Every structure is written in structure tokens, then in C-alpha cells.
Chain A
Amino acid sequence: MLLQNIMKLLQKYGMNFLNGLGTTLLLALISVAIGCVIGAIVAILRLGKSKILKAIATVYTEVVRDTPLLLQLYFFYFLLPDIMPALKLSKFACITIALVFNSGAYMAEVFRSGIQSIDRGQTEAARSLGLSSRQTMTRIILPQAFKNVLPAMCNEFVAVTKETSLASTFYVGDLMTQYQTISGKTYLVIEPLIIIGIIYFIVTFSMSKFITVLERRLKSDD
């Protein structure tokens, strides 16, 4: 009976599930890609000399990491259209911005540990040659740090992929949203849940496996 229902759901709503997966992956990809850039900048600020910028960067990462994501989603969902009505931001845009904001803070911590893991001697050697601190950062430290944090970045992607399910609160069309719609239409609860569970599992499990391979590759590269 359960299996039959699942087959029926897949036949009838297969495209909806796929669309949901697409939106989920898109949300995760945008969050991590832009979050990565934000994270690198925030990490550099946190390790930099300017006390004010350091304080701002620290407050940002701590506030984001110490409040629930769902709260942040609500916050941006209501705040952004209010303070910037002219932009006419869509629901999807507000949620994406919230996810980027969230991911940036986590990526900042990933980058910070990556930068700090680079031996001090690297900086000293670069500076002794006459490189400025900026040149040392971009040519010597960041390329090495980036390589070190690549696996952690992929892990963040896996985490964000799962966290996007919270965005379904606002019906943005992700996988979890599809569940809610389909379940509402068919009065089936367990079957669509099993389907999206399997989809989530396949995607994140294969990404985790990919990370393991990546880590091994990076190690043998040294």
C-alpha cells in the first residue's frame, strides 16, 4: 500500500519533486557562493588591524551563529520589504538574502580557521621579500587557506542544503515546500515525506562522499 502510493505520487508529482530539488540546490548554491565571498572578507577583517572593522565583523558572526536560522528568515522576510519597499523584493529574494547573510557568518569562521592554520613563517618569508601585507594575504595566505578550507566549505554546502528546508515556512518552492503542497492535495503524509527524505539523503550523501575523495586528493597533492 505504502509502496503503491509512493509510485503513484512519483508518477503524478515527479516534476514537482524535481523542481523542489532544483530550488533547494539553487538556494544552497547561492548562499554558499556569495557567503564564501562575504566570509573571506569578514574573516580578513576579523584578523585585521582596524579595531572598528574587527568589532563589526565579530558582532556579525556571533549574532548570526547564536540565533536560530528560522528567526533570521522571519526577520529578513518582514524587514527587507519594509525598509526597502522600492526594490519590490520577492519572497524568494528575501529568503535568499537571509540565507546568504547566515552562510556568510559560518563561512567567515571557516576562513578564519583556514587563515590561522597557515604557518606564521609563510607571512614572515613573504614580508621579508618586501611584499606588502595585502600582497602577502592574496598571494601567499589565501591560496593556501582556500585549499585547506575547501572540504569545510563543501560541508557547509551540505549543511545549507538541509537548512533550506526551513525556508519552506515561506513557501519558496524548495523540496520541503513541495512536500507541504503535495501532502495538502493528496492527504498523504508519510509517503511524500519518504520521497523527499530519500532525495535529501541521496544528494547530501553523495556530496559527503565527494568531500572525502576531495580531501584525499588535496592531501596527496602536497
Chain B
Amino acid sequence: MTDFSNAPELIRVENLHKSFGSLHVLNGITDTIHKGEVVSLIGPSGSGKSTLLRCLNRLEEPTSGHIWFDGVDIADKSVNIDLHRQKMGMVFQHFNIFPHMSVIDNITLAPVLLKKASKDEAIAKAESLLARVGLSDKRDNKPSRLSGGQKQRLAIARALAMEPEVMLFDEPTSALDPEMVGEVLEIIKSLAKNNMTCVIVTHEMGFAREVCNRVLFMDEGIIMEQGDPHQVFDHPQNPRTQDFLSKVL
């Protein structure tokens, strides 16, 4: 496995806490994600892994702690988070495609609106992204005509159109029919190969083992164990990890 500890830092999370009322979901998370790293977050449901991911682009407001992204503490409420979100792509479990727009408009909306590209440039870029995710023939369709797998591939293309520095995946294959999981994982895999930094909340243990550089096992709102996938999956040290893996593998 490639060692990323010398690669530049992209995201540094420091002592992150998140609670919903009296429910403590994150209890002090500290971790550094380096450029080009592919990190998966695994753990039982309710362990806080999705909340952690959603805190990274502040879809959830952290209760306390710091999130350094490109040298800026984006957990600071005075930061204009919209600007930083442009550099963090996100893919959701339920795709969240914009149903009132054609496939290509879904992709070009943000780059054009946020002045990252002219209309023509955005369209050219969107077309190449559609080719990359295998949806060229759906260019002008309405999203309702797409299958779940196609919607998720479109969602990935939509996020990539902003040329993000990191891609956040929130259980990207959990809502898919089994036969469509592969096509989505293939695309994430190709992103990883092209050195896109990825943080992936997933239940696909085989995928996490094969594609990720590092696996974080979370439970009760903390990172219980982390490391190289082979180490975590084959020789888990923490009894909680052992217990979890024995149930899912």
C-alpha cells in the first residue's frame, strides 16, 4: 500500500464533537486525510460515520472542534462555507438528482451558476464527464428515465463538474439494486486510481478492502481502530472491530 503520510494534508479534523440535543453522535474525532488518499469509514449503524462525513462539508454543523481544509478552519461559523463546498464534491445515498432538469443541466448548473466556467465550457466538460460515467446517450433525458445506478453515476458526474479536491461518498451504493452496485463502484474505483482524494462511508467491505488506502472503524462516535485495510480486516486489534467484522464479513 502506498504511504500517504508524506503527501500534503487536505483535511485535518481536530477533536470534533457533534450532538443532537442530548444525543452525542461524535465524541471527539481527530484525523488527517492526505491528498490522494482513499479512506473508508465503516462501523455499525448509529456509530456516527455518516455524521462525520456530513460535518466535513458542514451539512451538519459541528458542535465543537476544528476542520482544517486547505489551511482554513471551515468549522468556524464566520467562514463562507459555500466557497469551500465548491471544492468538496458529495454523493448521497439517495442520489438527490434534480428531477426538474435534464441530465446535462444537472451537471452544468453549478459550474455555470457559480461562474467556474462559461456555458460552452461547462457543456463540453459535462459531455466528457457523461462519457466517463457511461451516460452519453442519456444527455438530454429527464432523470426520471434513469435507473438507480445511472442516477448515482450522474450524481458523481455532477459533483466532479466542480473539479473538487475531495469527494465525499455517503453510502453511495446502499439504495441500489444489487446488480447496479458494481457499475457505481467501478467509477469510484477509477476516481481513486486517478488520485482523487475520496472519503467513503460504506457497507461494501470487499470494496473497502480492495480500493481504500486506509480504513477507519467507528463506533459510539469515536474512531475505534484505523489502518491499512489488510491490517484492519485481517488482524483487527480492537474487540469491537473484531465483533463488527465477524458479523458483516
Closest to A120 in B: B96
Rounded to whole angstroms, the CA-CA distance of A127 and B59 in the bound complex is 8
Q: In the bound complex, do residue A125 and residue B85 qualify as a contact, i.e. CB atoms below 8 Å apart?
A: no
Q: In the bound complex, do residue A143 and residue B100 qualify as a contact, i.e. CB atoms below 8 Å apart?
A: yes
- Complex interface: chain A residues within 8 A of B83 (CB): 130
- Complex interface: chain A residues within 8 A of B162 (CB): 129-130
A84 CB, min distance to chain B CBs, angstroms:
42
- Complex interface: chain B residues within 8 A of A132 (CB): 82
Please report the total number of A residues contacting B with Cβ < 8 Å. 19
- Tell me, yes or no, whether A139 is within 8 Å of chain B by CB: yes
Mask for A99-139, Cβ within 8 A of B = 1, else 0?
A: 00000000000000000000101101111111110010001
Please report the total number of B residues contacting A with Cβ < 8 Å. 26
- Tell me, yes or no, whether A140 is within 8 Å of chain B by CB: yes
- Complex interface: chain A residues within 8 A of B88 (CB): 128
Task: Choose from A125, A127, A135 the contact partner of B113 (Cβ within 8 Å).
Answer: A135
- Whether A128 touches B98, Cβ cut-off 8 Å, given contacts A121-B92, A139-B113, A222-B144, is no
Mask for B96-115, Cβ within 8 A of A = 1, else 0?
A: 11111000000001100110
Tell me which of A121, A124, A130, A144 has the highest count of chain B C-beta atoms within 10 A of its own C-beta.
Answer: A130
B141-174 residues with Cβ-Cβ distance < 8 A to A are: 144, 155, 158-159, 162, 168
A141 CB, min distance to chain B CBs, angstroms:
10
Q: In the bound complex, do residue A128 and residue B85 qualify as a contact, i.e. CB atoms below 8 Å apart?
A: yes
- Tell me, yes or no, whether B57 is within 8 Å of chain A by CB: yes
Q: In the bound complex, do residue B82 and residue A125 qualify as a contact, i.e. CB atoms below 8 Å apart?
A: no
Q: In the bound complex, do residue A144 and residue B92 qualify as a contact, i.e. CB atoms below 8 Å apart?
A: no
Rounded to whole angstroms, the CA-CA distance of A143 and B100 in the bound complex is 8
- Complex interface: chain B residues within 8 A of A51 (CB): none
- Tell me, yes or no, whether A147 is within 8 Å of chain B by CB: yes
Mask for B129-143, Cβ within 8 A of A = 1, else 0?
A: 000000000000000
- Complex interface: chain B residues within 8 A of A127 (CB): 59, 82, 85
- Tell me, yes or no, whether B90 is within 8 Å of chain A by CB: yes
Q: In the bound complex, do residue B85 and residue A139 qualify as a contact, i.e. CB atoms below 8 Å apart?
A: no
Task: Choose from B59, B98, B114 the contact partner of A130 (Cβ within 8 Å).
Answer: B114
A221 CB, min distance to chain B CBs, angstroms:
8
Rounded to whole angstroms, the CA-CA distance of A54 and B90 in the bound complex is 31
- Complex interface: chain B residues within 8 A of A147 (CB): 100
- Complex interface: chain A residues within 8 A of B155 (CB): 125
A99 CB, min distance to chain B CBs, angstroms:
31
**Besides A129-B159, A130-B82, A139-B109, 14 other CB < 8 A contacts?**
A125-B92, A126-B98, A127-B59, A127-B85, A128-B57, A128-B90, A128-B168, A129-B110, A130-B114, A130-B162, A131-B114, A132-B82, A135-B113, A143-B100
Interface residues of chain A, those whose CB is within 8 Å of chain B, are: 119, 121-122, 124-132, 135, 139-140, 143-144, 147, 222
Please give me the 7 A-B residue pairs with the lowest Cβ-Cβ distance, nearest first.
A130-B86, A125-B96, A121-B96, A128-B90, A129-B110, A130-B85, A130-B82
13 CB contacts below 8 A, A to B, read A121-B96, A122-B96, A125-B97, A125-B155, A128-B159, A129-B109, A129-B158, A130-B82, A130-B86, A131-B82, A139-B109, A144-B99, A222-B144
